[in-house]
């Protein structure tokens, strides 16, 4: 792999992750799913299983919720022409109605991801969320996952 | 256009947008104007007209206001050696005095922009703001645009 | 320096700064120190002196504090194959206990940094924080620096 190819791979992975978080907040599930390899595992949905199980769990968890996900300062390491890993600083917000009142969650942390290149396109193969802090509205009944 | 030229164009456009938001919050109008092509149209100032009309509307709207604009996770597509487009996740805050009290606006959304390369320099040619959510201080009399 | 080498240097500096802020919030002082050249000077610790004095002042300032630092929209200029400068939009949050109550600071601004390449690795040589706005919890006894 040349240095130019490495830079191209890094830029493609940054765009992949940008698409992932925008598709999540726009509830564009087709795009969201296409960002992930079939064997993808997210730690917060790991009991669910692979990508397709994650999609079902995610649709259920985000129903009736407005979400805002931000990702900052990527540190992408290309391990080979088929394998890469990356860390991102993240922040998320969620808003929903509960017993007629708006409730919210506001969280911060780091995403640790792995990526694979398949047929020339990079895909996400795993994601782990390391939390720094989570705040909830008083009386919130939602968990801090996702 | 080679792959190297494409990467160089992407980096230049990222720097252009970074300069744009920093110049906005620093009220450096000369730099701000120079980031845009003369025919630039922003959707929230589209009734005003092109770049110079936008500048006048922007100066009026930001008078007496402290603003903070953040842009995240760019997805830049180079269409040709003269045309590009990009999406960014964004967040903005504004603070101002109203009847002696500090009021504020806090918003989230996506910027959708187009760019053109003129004489070797990339310029912004259009910007559309797609809002995810806007919060206002109680009693705020300001619109959510910009 | 070729255009490819310039792009590689920009990406390395972005990763360096990403590592710096993640190490700060994770209190990984070994990584944090290794991001800076020995002669590094931060304006908010400039009375302390160089890098090693900064480290001591930083450990003291962050004891008992949860911090969250975000950096956005880098504008990196490579001056030569050994010298570079960069501006970032930033946001920081701090939380700590004071007389049994949780207090906080929330700030915004710009980082202005310089970098040097030593033995093939880019290091931070100076950092200046230009503040846009700082908010404190009522009764907070902490300064707005760092």
Q: pLDDT tens for residues C16-60?
A: 999 999 999 999 999 999 999 999 999 877 777 789 888 999 999
| pLDDT exceeds cutoff 70 at A91 | yes
Give the closest residue to B105 by CA, choosing from B139, B59, B55: B139
- Taking CA–CA distances from C13, the nearest residue in chain A reads A75
Could you report the per-residue pLDDT of B92-133, keeping only the tens digit for each? 999 999 999 999 999 999 999 999 999 999 999 999 999 999
Q: Does the predicted model carry a pTM greater than 0.90? A: yes
- Chain C partners within 8 Å of A89 (Cβ): 18, 21-22, 70
How would you write B14-58 as a 3-class SS string? HHHHHHHHHHHHCCCHHHHHHCEEEEEEEHHHCCCCCHHHHHHHH
Sequence-distant contacts of C115-120: CB under 8 A, at least 24 apart: C115/C13, C115/C16, C115/C83, C115/C84, C115/C85, C115/C86, C116/C37, C116/C82, C116/C83, C116/C84, C117/C9, C117/C81, C117/C82, C117/C83, C117/C84, C118/C37
**Cβ of C70 under 8 Å from any chain A Cβ?**
yes
| pLDDT exceeds cutoff 60 at C120 | yes
How far apart are the C-alpha atoms of A94 and A144, rounded to whole Å?
A: 10
The stretch A89-110 carries a mean pLDDT of 96
Of chain B, the end-to-end C-alpha distance in Å amounts to: 35
- pLDDT for the residue numbered A18: 98
Quote the minimal CA–CA distance from C73 to chain A in Å: 9
Report residue C32: phi and psi, to 5°.
Answer: -60, -50
Quote the minimal CA–CA distance from A53 to chain B in Å: 27
The stretch A7-25 carries a mean pLDDT of 97
Q: How confident is the model at residue C11 (pLDDT cuts 50, 70, 90)?
A: very high
Per-residue pLDDT of chain B (146 residues; tens, 9 = 90+): 999 999 999 999 999 999 999 999 999 999 999 999 999 999 877 777 789 888 999 999 899 999 999 999 999 999 999 999 999 999 999 999 999 999 999 999 999 999 999 999 999 999 999 999 999 999 998 755 54
Q: How confident is the model at residue C9 (pLDDT cuts 50, 70, 90)?
A: very high
Could you report the per-residue pLDDT of A39-55, keeping only the tens digit for each? 999 987 777 778 988 89
- Taking CA–CA distances from B107, the nearest residue in chain A reads A68
Q: How confident is the model at residue A143 (pLDDT cuts 50, 70, 90)?
A: low
| pLDDT exceeds cutoff 80 at A142 | no
**Cβ of A27 under 8 Å from any chain B Cβ?**
no
- Taking CA–CA distances from B2, the nearest residue in chain A reads A4
Q: Please answer yes or no on whether A87 and C18 come within 8 Å at the CB atom.
A: yes
| pLDDT exceeds cutoff 60 at A96 | yes
- Coil, strand or helix at C138: coil
Q: Please answer yes or no on whether B133 and A68 come within 8 Å at the CB atom.
A: yes
C75, C89, C132 member nearest B15 (Cβ): C75
DSSP code of residue C35: T
- pLDDT for the residue numbered B46: 76
The residue written with tokens 């956005």 in the block is: C72
Instruction: Find out whether A119 and A34 touch, Cβ atoms under 8 Å.
Output: no
ipTM computed for the complex: 0.92
Could you report the per-residue pLDDT of C54-108, keeping only the tens digit for each? 899 999 989 999 999 999 999 999 999 999 999 999 999 999 999 999 999 999 9
**Cα distances (angstroms) measured from residue A18 to each of A58, A104, C53, C124:** 18, 23, 38, 27
For C67-99, give the DSSP string: EEEEEEEEEEEE-SSSEEEEEEEEEEEEEEEET
Quote the minimal CA–CA distance from C69 to chain B in Å: 14
- Coil, strand or helix at B74: strand
Instruction: Find out whether A61 and A146 touch, Cβ atoms under 8 Å.
Output: yes
**Cβ of A73 under 8 Å from any chain B Cβ?**
no
Domains of chain A by start residue, with CATH: 3-136 (3.10.450.50)
**Cβ of B28 under 8 Å from any chain C Cβ?**
no
Instruction: Find out whether A72 and A22 touch, Cβ atoms under 8 Å.
Output: no
- Taking CA–CA distances from A11, the nearest residue in chain C reads C11
Could you report the per-residue pLDDT of A55-74, keeping only the tens digit for each? 999 999 899 999 999 999 99
Where would I find the beta strands (DSSP E) of chain C?
Answer: 36-42, 65-78, 83-98, 101-118, 121-136
Instruction: Find out whether C85 and C77 touch, Cβ atoms under 8 Å.
Output: yes
Strand pairing category for B121-136 and B36-42: parallel
Quote the minimal CA–CA distance from B4 to chain A in Å: 7
- Taking CA–CA distances from A91, the nearest residue in chain B reads B72
Q: Write down the mean pLDDT value for chain A.
A: 93
| pLDDT exceeds cutoff 90 at A10 | yes
The stretch A119-123 carries a mean pLDDT of 96
**Cβ of B73 under 8 Å from any chain A Cβ?**
yes
């Amino acid at each position: 792999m040349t240095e130019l190819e490495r830079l191209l791979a890094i830029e493609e992975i940054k765009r992949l992750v940008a698409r992932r978080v925008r598709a999540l907040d726009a509830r564009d599930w087709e795009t969201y799913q296409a960002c992930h390899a079939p064997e993808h595992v997210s730690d917060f949905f790991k009991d669910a299983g692979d990508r397709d199980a994650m999609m079902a769990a995610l649709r259920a968890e985000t129903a009736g919720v407005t979400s805002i996900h931000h990702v900052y300062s990527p540190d992408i390491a290309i391990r080979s022409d088929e394998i890469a890993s990356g860390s991102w600083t993240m922040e998320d917000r969620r808003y929903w109605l509960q017993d007629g009142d708006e409730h919210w969650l506001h969280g911060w942390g780091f995403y640790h991801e792995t990526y694979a290149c398949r047929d020339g396109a990079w895909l996400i193969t795993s994601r782990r969320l390391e939390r720094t802090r989570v705040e909830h509205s008083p009386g919130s009944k939602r968990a801090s996952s996702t």
